[in-house]
Structure 1
Amino acid sequence: METKPQRGVGAIETGSRILHAFVTIGRPCMLRDLAEHAGMTPAQVHAYLVSFKSAGLVEQEDGSGLYRLGPMALSLGLVRLRTHDPLRMASEAIVAFSTEQAAMVALSVWGTYGPTIVQVQEGPHQLHVNVRAGTVFSITGTATGRVFAAHLPDRLIDERVTAERTDRATQRIGEATTLADLKRHTTFIRRHGFAPIEGQPVPGVNAIAAPVRDYTGQLQCVVTMIAAAGMLETRSGGARAEAMLAFVGKLSSDLGYRAP
């Protein structure tokens, strides 16, 4: 049985176009700029701005007359940030993403021993890989580890790479390599936004990993797609890489991240 679309308030939906324009422009702006971005006339926009100013959503600079988001908008944003748990959001989202991509998807955070899986969403095709919650990835030898290396401080990464090359007690996925080799990969990751790996550390299995960042640009977690080599193309611009970038881009955007 089809559910009827709920009736909304048209004026609020129209007004939201103006608020979206503030976000898109990203700086104090003139009335005509808001009107252009919102697809409205300056007169229409001005009427909404009067109400938004009364509500504290918008304020106007005294000297220049430029409009900017007001204190109420800041309060709303802070409440959103305080009540939005990045890990919970990502863990819920990877369920649908795994189904959509027909691939295993892992969610990892930075733990005591380095990149550590906190959730694995199994795909429809069985993979013979020892990946489960609590598994630690090698920083230098896995796509997941390389993403962390590309976005965390060099000092922290250098210390952990040295530790993983000498610590034989901790079980990790992936063979440790050199810092020089790692630098080559992190350069690619920073340029293209994701880390690809083929046939490593498991022969016949490929992976793509990408970062989820918050409003400060800080790395919150890493999402990794894992599938048989014949089912997971890893090249930049490929369908899988683009799907991954869109996925982590949406998660990061929901956390307030705006790409420079």
Structure 2
Amino acid sequence: MGKAPISCMIRESGRPISGCRMASALDISTKPESVGRGVQAIEVGGKLLAAMVAAGAPAMLRDIALAAGLTPAQAHAYLRSFRTIGLVEQDGDTGRYALGPFALQLGMTRLKSFDPLRMAGQVAITLSGELGLMVAILVWGTYGPTVVQVQEGTDQLHVNVRAGTVFTLSGTASGAVFAAFMKGRAAAEMLAAELQEGSRTQKIGPPAAPEDVAQTIRAVREQGYATTEGRPVPGVNAISAPVFDSTGQIQLALTLIGPAAALPLEAGNPFVLRLMEATRQLSQHLGWAGEVLPERSPLKRKTA
């Protein structure tokens, strides 16, 4: 037999075949099938720029060279050319190198031209095809977490999820993500009103008991995603994770929905890892360079 394909989340009793490497959610949507013959010098220079981005702060030549796998002499030649075009600048007092004004212009142009919902839609299609699950995209709307796109899975689910559907903050996995990570007062105020309204709500997902909400939000912040088991629909599970912009504000939630037998919820399972990989890459495309840390919201940007 030939080598197993990269994208091999083949369903067998609702679980991926073991031994398969999970593909990047953005492999299909952002990477060409063949890049052809490139310019090696540019690729080497790209390693230096990537090392500087990873450092997150001005760095010494030797440290940049080490991170990029080059000698200091090699790195210096590239950095000198980058300084000429404004990609890199050097502090005259400390000798440390940092990304320059042209790098900022490139980044801003990228952010202005990037459509997060379009790319998230492509990722939803990819995830649904690989995992065989329903994938929903939600944004913050006038009445709370609102579905803007649904990609159906292979299983026929009797759930009321379509574009325009509004979820509760405390009774759904998608809502819990917004409750945990959204900046400002809007989510907190809506959550308070939702808990007061209780079972009279017209949204999807009966609100949780007030005494359980704080614990749920803490757990979501600690692990970086939210889950619901058999709620609000018995026998149906959900896993939801946030996508952040360059400021650390949540822009959307990406949610897997499927039968309990096909969508396990235990930490570290392939479905959780796949979803977190997809949302992390989407966040990176939006300019976010942070990570989820325990007990912190908004998230803390990496500094090293």
Structure 2 counterpart of 1:19, from 49, 64, 89? 49
Shift of 1:158: 3.3
Normalising to structure 2: TM-score of the pair?
0.81
Structure 1 counterpart of 2:274, from 224, 231, 243? 243
Output the CA distance in 2 between the equivalents of 1:154 and 1:52: 39
- Does residue 1:229 correspond to 2:240, yes or no? no
The structure with more helix, counted as a fraction of residues: 1
Secondary structure (helix, strand or coil) at the match of 2:119 reads helix
Q: Read off the aligned partner of 1:107 and give its amino acid letter.
A: I
Higher relative contact order (CA 8 A, sep 6+): 2
Structure 2 counterpart of 1:126, from 156, 172, 189? 156
Residue 137 of structure 1 aligns with which residue? Answer: 167
Residue 102 of structure 1 aligns with which residue? Answer: 132
Output the CA distance in 2 between the equivalents of 1:26 and 1:153: 23
Secondary structure (helix, strand or coil) at the match of 1:94 reads helix
Instruction: Give yes or no for contact 2:183–2:249 (8 Å, CA) kept in 1.
Output: no
Q: Read off the aligned partner of 1:182 and give its amino acid letter.
A: V
Cα 1:16/1:153, change in 2 over 3 Å: closer
Cα displacement string for residues 99-123 of structure 1 (whole angstroms, at most 9, x for unaligned residues): 1111000000111111100000001
Normalising to structure 1: TM-score of the pair?
0.94
Structure 1 counterpart of 2:107, from 45, 63, 77? 77
Instruction: Give yes or no for contact 1:158–1:179 (8 Å, CA) kept in 2.
Output: no
Q: Which consecutive residues of structure 1, in runs of 5 or more, have no partner in the other structure?
A: none
Identity of aligned residues (%): 50
Residue 213 of structure 1 aligns with which residue? Answer: 244
Secondary structure (helix, strand or coil) at the match of 1:116 reads strand
Residue 177 of structure 1 aligns with which residue? Answer: 208
The alignment yields a C-alpha RMSD, in angstroms, of 1.7
Instruction: Give yes or no for contact 1:104–1:122 (8 Å, CA) kept in 2.
Output: yes
Shift of 1:178: 3.5
Output the CA distance in 2 between the equivalents of 1:103 and 1:203: 16
Q: Which moved more, 1:86-95 or 1:113-122?
A: 86-95
Shift of 1:171: 2.9
Shift of 1:176: 1.2
Cα 1:44/1:158, change in 2 over 3 Å: closer
Alignment of 1:135-214 (within 5 A): 135-153=165-183, 155-164=185-194, 165-166=196-197, 171-214=202-245
Q: Read off the aligned partner of 2:234 and give its amino acid letter.
A: P
Shift of 1:153: 4.0
Output the CA distance in 1 between the equivalents of 2:277 and 2:249: 18
Cα displacement string for residues 191-226 of structure 1 (whole angstroms, at most 9, x for unaligned residues): 111101100000000000000001111100000000
Output the CA distance in 2 between the equivalents of 1:155 and 1:218: 13
- Does residue 1:87 correspond to 2:117, yes or no? yes
Structure 2 counterpart of 1:254, from 285, 288, 300? 285
Secondary structure (helix, strand or coil) at the match of 2:261 reads helix
Residue 19 of structure 2 aligns with which residue? Answer: none
Instruction: Give yes or no for contact 2:116–2:286 (8 Å, CA) kept in 1.
Output: yes
Residue 6 of structure 2 aligns with which residue? Answer: none
Q: Read off the aligned partner of 1:117 and give its amino acid letter.
A: V
Residue 147 of structure 2 aligns with which residue? Answer: 117
- Does residue 1:51 correspond to 2:102, yes or no? no
Secondary structure (helix, strand or coil) at the match of 1:209 reads strand
Q: Which consecutive residues of structure 2, in runs of 5 or more, have no partner in the other structure?
A: 1-32, 291-300
- Does residue 1:63 correspond to 2:93, yes or no? yes
Shift of 1:138: 1.0
Shift of 1:159: 2.2
Q: Read off the aligned partner of 1:208 and give its amino acid letter.
A: I
Secondary structure (helix, strand or coil) at the match of 1:183 reads helix
Secondary structure (helix, strand or coil) at the match of 2:49 reads helix
